[in-house]
Amino acid sequence: DREHSALQCHPDAAHSLGDLVADGLCLIAAYSPPLEQLCTLGIAAMLLSTGASLVSFSFFEIRSALQSHALRGVASAPLQLASLVPLFVALVCVGAKESLYRLTYAVGKRRAVA
């Protein structure tokens, strides 16, 4: 429905804005070496706050799910967990990012030597 799609746009917009700010900080750092450390700290703060909010949100969601499960009186029944597909996708993404990092690092090392 319309309300659901509008609510879904907010996280996408926030993500796009965060990417734009991080890209801007990277550009500033690239063209102004004295500001490089400050820009790096800004990006690190963005990543730290994002990670902290994800951990906090996940903690409260898991706690809520466990409480509602216990309140229904089915403590002996196993808690229904999400399928393993998202875990598999996450592991593939982490592996791909690590591979790209190692490739980029190797190319940088070769170019620095040449």
Q: Which residue has the tokens 């706050």?
A: 49
pTM as predicted: 0.57
Integer Cα distance of 88 and 46 in angstroms: 26
**Per-residue confidence in pLDDT tens, the chain, 114 aa:** 555 555 456 677 777 888 899 999 999 999 999 999 999 999 999 999 989 998 998 899 888 877 876 666 655 445 555 567 777 888 899 999 999 999 999 988 888 876
- Report the chain's terminal Cα–Cα distance, integer Å: 57
Integer Cα distance of 71 and 47 in angstroms: 36
Single-letter code of the amino acid located at 101? Y
Q: Which residue has the tokens 């804005």?
A: 17
Closest CA to 58 of 82, 89, 22, 83: 82
